[in-house]
Amino acid sequence: MGQQVGISTLHGTIGGWRADPATPAKGAVIVVQEIFGLNSHIRGIVEQYAQHGFIAIAPALFDLIEHDIELGYTEADVARGRQLRSELGEDRAVDCVRAAMEEVEAEGFVGVVGYCWGGTIAYLTCSRLGLPAVSYYGGGTVPFLDETPSSALMLHFGANDPLISADDVAKHRASLPDAEFHVWPAGHGFNCDQRADYNASVASEALQHSLKFFETHLE
């Protein structure tokens, strides 16, 4: 069962959600939120990784702007989330992931997984901090493709994603020849059971690939 934790960053203390496995940990995974805050979906992913044998922690990135942001998936929530994302910016988000890494790095090798905007932050964490990273539908990565990953990288996309074009996926492939790609028959947000594009079978298969990735690279 997960619990709330405090994480000290360069910009102040933020909250987080952490879960530990019942067995000796295979490593630690930082879970990076979408633009909707540290909501029940992200907490559920933390619990999921702990159930599969990893220490998992999700920093509440928006705490640097406003505490306890937990949005849903309505149009109003999207607008609010985009506003918070713009106000926080990618650099401070990466600083928060760095702080989460420092919370768990003494307990084993650390990787990062991120969703939507969090997928972009996971990519930047890979390039700037050298952590093995898995990015789910991180279309916002395109402006940062000149930043070379410095560790292993896996990217998941949906072939039917209206927010990430086939051309954008092709740009990722061209810029990241060493990355592992999975393009699924699904839309945007296919991993989230609170979103209209949720696809249970694709989410399950993508998770298996992600778990194998971390089992390989966190050792």
Is residue 161 part of the annotated active site? The answer reads yes
Cα 88 to its chain centre, rounded Å, is 16
> Is 135 in contact with 151 (CB distance < 8 Å)?
no
Residue 214, classed as helix, strand or coil, is helix
Residue 154 and residue 179 in contact, taking contact as beta carbons nearer than 8 Å: yes
Chain centroid to Cα 62, Å, comes to 14
The dihedral of CA 53, 141, 127, 61: what is its sign? Answer: negative
Catalytic residue among 63, 95, 161, 197: 161
Spot the catalytic one: 188, 192, 197, 217. Answer: 188
What is the distance between the terminal CA atoms of the chain, rounded to a whole angstrom?
A: 25
For the question of residue 172 being annotated catalytic, the response is: no
- Residue 11 annotated to the active site: no
Marked catalytic residue, from 116, 126, 172, 192:
116
* Tokens read off for 61: 């990135």
Q: Active-site residue numbers?
A: 116, 161, 188
